Amino acid sequence: MGDDPGLFTPNSVTWQMHGDPMMWIAGVRALYLQALHPRAVRGVMQNSDFRRDAWGRLMRTANFVGTTTYGTTEAAERAGARVRKIHSMLTATDPDTGERYGVDEPGLLLWVHCAEIDSYLHVLRRSGFPLTDAQADRYTAEHRVSARLVGLDPQTVPASRAELAAYFDRVRPELAAGPEARAVDDFLLHPPTHPLLIPAREVLWRRVAQLAYAALPPYAHQLYGRPAPAPAVVTRRLRATGALLRRVPARVRWQLPPKHILRAMARLGPEARPAPYKVGR
């Protein structure tokens, strides 16, 4: 292997998990969950035209995850510095109190981080990606690294599933489906698209959004006010979707820009190829 395997390295659970195609559905679930924190989602909505730039935001998040997972140490640190700089310049205003606050408040950064890690773990495991409880804990602990990159003190970040669950128990009283969350929900169900692509949106994207929504915890369904199928039905759909997407050859999936995994394999050698069976090594 080359000299710089990056921050996570091919020996990490993260390296293997993040090459799975269900990460895309997990990312949409994370958006739904993140939108339920009024202060956090307000920071997004007041600093960008979400409906015009939501795809760009999703792709920037995917690029950040890919860079920090599979890029060199220098590339990952540079990506983190860029995120911290952008966040340091942004503020939001509470419409009820008039309070102006920075979007880089540690509590807001922690919410975004935990919603992502919980979503990645939940969707991949429930869709059939093989992870033991110990490996899931290891994955959670590994992401104290990504938390540091966005400006958090790693010691304040959950490092196990139990700590993650305790965090969500503490923060739940702060959650609500306010106007901003409703706007995110509406966008995810009806994203703007060319008129000729509306049928494809209804057939393909709507199913992705509905599955991501269904995979949310019950309290999120209650807050949004929309029911979800029974848990057993959701699990079957996640497993069926995972099985279908995983039939697409990895080399084909990884050709999508910006090709983080292929570049990592070119840098480190073919043995760096991520695969579920390597998690337990």
Q: Is pLDDT of 1 > 80?
A: no
Residue 188, CA distances (Å) to 9, 31, 205 in order: 33, 9, 9
Q: Check residues 62 and 221 and name the one with the higher pLDDT.
A: 221
Distance CA(150)–CA(109), nearest Å, equals 7
The encoded tokens of residue 244 equal 């279908």
Q: Is pLDDT of 56 > 90?
A: no
Q: Check residues 201 and 106 and name the one with the higher pLDDT.
A: 106
Distance CA(90)–CA(105), nearest Å, equals 11
- Lowest pLDDT segment from 95-109, 112-126, 197-211: 197-211
Distance CA(91)–CA(94), nearest Å, equals 10
- What is this structure's pTM? 0.94
30, 23 contact by CB (below 8 A): no
Tokens 């292997």 belong to 1
Q: Taking residues 91-117, what's their average pLDDT?
A: 97
Measured at the alpha carbon of residue 260, what is the angle toward residues 120 and 251, in degrees to the nearest 5? 90
Tokens 């990056």 belong to 6
263-275 pLDDT, tens digit each = 999 999 999 999 9
Q: Taking residues 26-34, what's their average pLDDT?
A: 96
- Lowest pLDDT segment from 4-18, 57-71, 199-213: 199-213
Residue 100, CA distances (Å) to 155, 213, 243 in order: 27, 31, 46
177, 36 contact by CB (below 8 A): yes
Q: Is pLDDT of 33 > 50?
A: yes
At 92, which amino acid appears?
Answer: A
106, 119 contact by CB (below 8 A): no
Q: Check residues 193 and 225 and name the one with the higher pLDDT.
A: 225
Nearest to 123 by CA among 241, 9, 230, 226: 241
Measured at the alpha carbon of residue 121, what is the angle toward residues 119 and 126, in degrees to the nearest 5? 95
pLDDT at residue 58 in the model: 74
218-240 pLDDT, tens digit each = 999 999 999 999 999 999 999 99
144-182 pLDDT, tens digit each = 999 999 999 999 999 999 999 999 999 999 999 999 999
Q: Check residues 91 and 2 and name the one with the higher pLDDT.
A: 91
What confidence tier does 199 reach under pLDDT thresholds 50, 70, 90? low
Averaged confidence pLDDT in the chain: 92
pLDDT at residue 37 in the model: 98
